[in-house]
Chains A and B, each alone.
Chain A
């Protein structure tokens, strides 16, 4: 990776800053070689990774070191791009929004500070991975479950900070956060919620502060570096029942949503229900060329053949109930009866009881796995993916509208359609996976046009993305346009007040500090 220095910082000043950083963390934890810059690049970048180049990375090992680095960054006007473990795959990985930023890698801060099995909480540093937490719970045989995302290679807190989702009753991960410790852009240290009182015992139990509650203002945010946070966990259930419904046709998604969302809102179903389209199953069976050997999207007739050959529905609902067995049985009767109004085939049913083994990929039971990333291998080559992720109301008309709109745009760009709707209750998160080979420039260019078209058309229809890749952060922030972009203006006012030098994550989520706003045009796709 070519070396791009931070704005208005010359080579000598840059070296001086790195030397100062090394004085805090030790020279081994300041990483500024060519291979280091490559390792912190966006491995799934749509196009050349050097559109979002880090100049170096620094890895503090404690909150005091984070404070010292942030203070030095102000002195040397070096922009920092904090990452928890840097595995934000599909959204930019560890790469910074602004060229020349130094990645502040918190991966060394990986202490599990506390796990409280009685009240089902834990307190983590940002470097703790889902695997680390899962294994700590297993080793201690604690009656707790995790909620994991599709890619569990990354950080528990980092995923929650980016508003990631999982597929258990605790699947809205940012909602599980409770009580933060944050290094502010001037190096000051603050604790949110009840933790604002020294020695308070309810820091990670009561989710609000005395006065305004700032916790979520530090998520998808450039206002601070979170160095620890509390997280609520799911008490391990006595039993669980999986009901698997194959849903035959594309348009069936309407009644599926109208059947499941009310049950979720009412609490009969407490899980985030994941409803993937057929390609979600095919990516685990082989590569694209095993099923269709031409470059354009797999045609409808071939899709129909594949669904018949592999006995797949267009959608699959693998719904899971959790709790005491008699309660699950009663809930399952309600779910079966509701689905039977539209679907004659009964579900496949799989019981699990405490003590039974779990398989290594069961995300609905909180088992961490990186295997869903295999979808990147679908197109072959240096496979990659991006997720287009708008949020829609969980009703048939909104979901069908979104499906038809994105389906038409994706078809017009001749790309395979792989969508999922995750029913979170009153809303559904629609993730459209766009898979491509990074070494095929035509494919990459087409994917970029497609992504921009999806954002624009979806916003015109009244829906926004909950998260996006670095290259579209400004574009998506532009879609939140009420009252002349009042939300962005508010963000910028707060940003400038807390971070006058603009050294913390400039450009994150389309929020630019005054000091770096001249850089905002670069790095947009």
Chain B
């Protein structure tokens, strides 16, 4: 799946002239299933950050999601590769930044409520996206 997503993002990039206008959008990938919500109490720490990311953030941040599509343009403008439009491929995110964006919003992204993502879930997601940093 990841290779297919990267190829789609790359296709979008190749078709984007300097002004980042997508002259003819590339064929869309198939729907990407999110991971099911991991078992356990939503208020308890330590649940699987990758699964939580997919389940709660996957509405927009998997292949062909709204957030991914908007980030393709932003990443290209920043001189980064289009595959980094997928947050799971980023190596420059920090847990604190993820916390801030999720709770305060960013651009078209609205702030997420604590029913959308609990504080414990956000901790797990932020650790996953900011892994190793």
B21 touches A39 (CB 8 A): no
Contacting pair A285 B21 (CB below 8 A) = yes
Known A-B contacts A39-B113, A290-B19, A290-B21; the reply to A131 vs B34 at CB < 8 A is yes
- CB < 8 Å neighbour of B64 from A105, A138, A361, A382: A361
Given contact pairs A360-B30, A361-B28, A371-B64, A290 touches B108 in the complex (Cβ within 8 A): no
Interface string of A58-77 (1 = CB under 8 A from B): 01000000000000000000
Interface stretch of the complex, out of A113-121, A181-189, A201-209, A372-380: A372-380
Structural contact, A105 and B33, CB atoms closer than 8 A: no
Check A369 against B19 for contact (C-beta < 8 Å): no
> Across the interface, which residues of B come within 8 angstroms of A330, CB to CB?
none
Q: Decide if A370 touches B25 in the complex (CB within 8 Å).
A: no
> Given A57-B113, A131-B34, does the pair A359, B29 have CB atoms closer than 8 Å?
yes
A172 to chain B, nearest CB (A): 24
Residues of A close to B30: CB separation below 8 A: 357-360
User: Would A36 and B114 be within 8 Å (CB), given that A129-B59, A285-B22 are in contact?
Assistant: yes
Name the interface residues of B50-88: CB closer than 8 Å to any CB of A: 58-60, 63-66, 69-70, 73
List the A side residues contacting B108 at CB < 8 Å: 373-374, 376-377, 382-383
**Given A359-B27, A359-B29, A377-B70, does the pair A153, B59 have CB atoms closer than 8 Å?**
yes
Give how many A-B residue pairs fall within 8 Å (CB-CB).
Answer: 117
Chain A residues within 8 Å of B107, by CB: 377, 382-383
Complex-state Cα separation, A232 to B7, whole angstroms: 37
Which of B23, B31, B59 counts the most A-chain CB atoms under 10 A from its CB?
B31
Q: Does B111 contact A (CB under 8 A)?
A: yes
Query: In the complex the two chains form, what is the Cα distance from A39 to B113 in whole Å?
Result: 5
Closest Cβ neighbor of B112 among chain A residues: A39
- Does any Cβ of A come within 8 Å of B20's Cβ? yes
B94 in the interface (beta carbon within 8 A): no
**In chain B, residues 94-133, which have Cβ atoms closer than 8 Å to a Cβ of chain A?**
103-105, 107-108, 110-116, 118
The CB with the most chain A CB atoms within 10 A, among B65, B66, B105, B107, is that of: B66
Contact at B63–A360, with CB atoms within 8 Å?
A: yes
Establish whether residues B69 and A374, one from each chain, have CB atoms under 8 Å apart when the complex forms: yes
Among residues of B, the one whose C-beta sits closest to the C-beta of A28 is B43
- Interchain CB contact under 8 A, B33 and A359: no
Q: Does B32 contact A (CB under 8 A)?
A: yes
A11-53 Cβ-contact flags toward B at 8 Å (1 or 0): 0000000000000000011010001101110010000000000
In the bound assembly, the distance between CA atoms of A291 and B17 in angstroms comes to: 13
Residue of B nearest to A89 (CB): B110
Distance in angstroms from A259 CB to nearest chain B CB is: 28
Among B21, B25, B105, B108, chain A packs the most CB atoms within 10 A around the CB of: B108
**B111 in contact with A28 (CB, 8 Å):** no
A109 → chain B, closest Cβ, in Å? 10
Residues A35 and B111 in contact in the complex (CB < 8 Å), given A310-B23, A359-B30: yes
A358 and B23 form a contact (CB under 8 A)? no
A134 nearest CB neighbor, chain B only:
B31
Q: Are A369 and B113 in contact (CB under 8 A)?
A: no
A414 vs chain B, min Cβ distance (A): 23
A189 to B20, CA, bound (A): 55
Chain A contacts of B34 at CB under 8 A? 131, 135
In Å, the complex CA distance between A139 and B35 comes to 11
Please state if B21 and A86 are interface contacts (CB–CB under 8 Å).
Answer: no
Closest B residue by C-beta to A135: B33
Contact B21 A360 (CB under 8 A): no
Chain A residues with Cβ below 8 Å from B23 are 285, 310
Chain B residue contacts of A369, Cβ below 8 A: 64-66
Chain A residues 60 to 100 lying within 8 A of chain B, measured CB to CB, are 86, 93-94
Residue pair B58, A131 in contact (C-beta under 8 Å): yes
**Which residue of chain A lies nearest to B67 when distances are taken between CB atoms in the complex?**
A370
Contact of B113 among A86, A131, A358 (CB under 8 A): A86
Q: A108-B115, A131-B58 are in contact. Are A370 and B65 (CB under 8 A)?
A: yes
With A371-B65, A373-B66 as known contacts, state yes or no: A291 contacts B21, CB within 8 Å: yes
- Asked if A138 meets B33 with Cβ closer than 8 Å, knowing A107-B116, A376-B108, A382-B107, the reply is yes
Do residues B19 and A370 form an inter-chain contact, with CB atoms below 8 A? no
Quick check: A286 and B20 within 8 Å, CB to CB? yes
Of the residues B27, B36, B66, B113, contact of A31 by C-beta under 8 Å: B113
Q: Which residues of B contact A31 (CB under 8 A)?
A: 113-115
Q: Which residue of A lies closest to B35 (CB)?
A: A135
- Is residue A284 contacting chain B, with contact meaning CB distance below 8 A? yes
Q: A367 interface residue, CB < 8 Å from B?
A: yes
- Distance in Å: Cβ of A511 to nearest Cβ of chain B: 26
Contact with B along A281-310 (1 / 0, CB 8 A): 000111100110000000000000000001
Q: Complex: how many Å from CA A291 to CA B21? A: 9
Question: Do residues A360 and B29 form an inter-chain contact, with CB atoms below 8 A?
Answer: yes
Determine whether the beta carbon of A131 is less than 8 Å from that of B27. no
Residues from chain B with Cβ under 8 Å of A373 in the complex? 66, 108
Closest 9 CB pairs of A and B: A359-B28, A360-B64, A286-B21, A43-B110, A107-B115, A39-B113, A39-B111, A370-B66, A357-B30
Q: A373-B66, A377-B107 are in contact. List 11 more A-B contacts (CB 8 A).
A: A38-B104, A38-B111, A93-B110, A134-B31, A135-B33, A286-B19, A290-B20, A359-B28, A360-B28, A367-B31, A370-B65
Interface CB pairs A-B, < 8 A, 20: A28-B118, A29-B115, A39-B110, A57-B113, A57-B115, A105-B115, A108-B115, A131-B34, A131-B58, A138-B33, A285-B23, A286-B19, A287-B20, A359-B29, A359-B30, A367-B31, A369-B64, A369-B66, A371-B64, A382-B108
Interface residues of A (CB under 8 A from B): 28-29, 31, 35-36, 38-40, 43, 57, 59, 86, 93-94, 105, 107-108, 129, 131, 134-135, 138-139, 153, 284-287, 290-291, 310, 357-361, 367-374, 376-377, 382-383
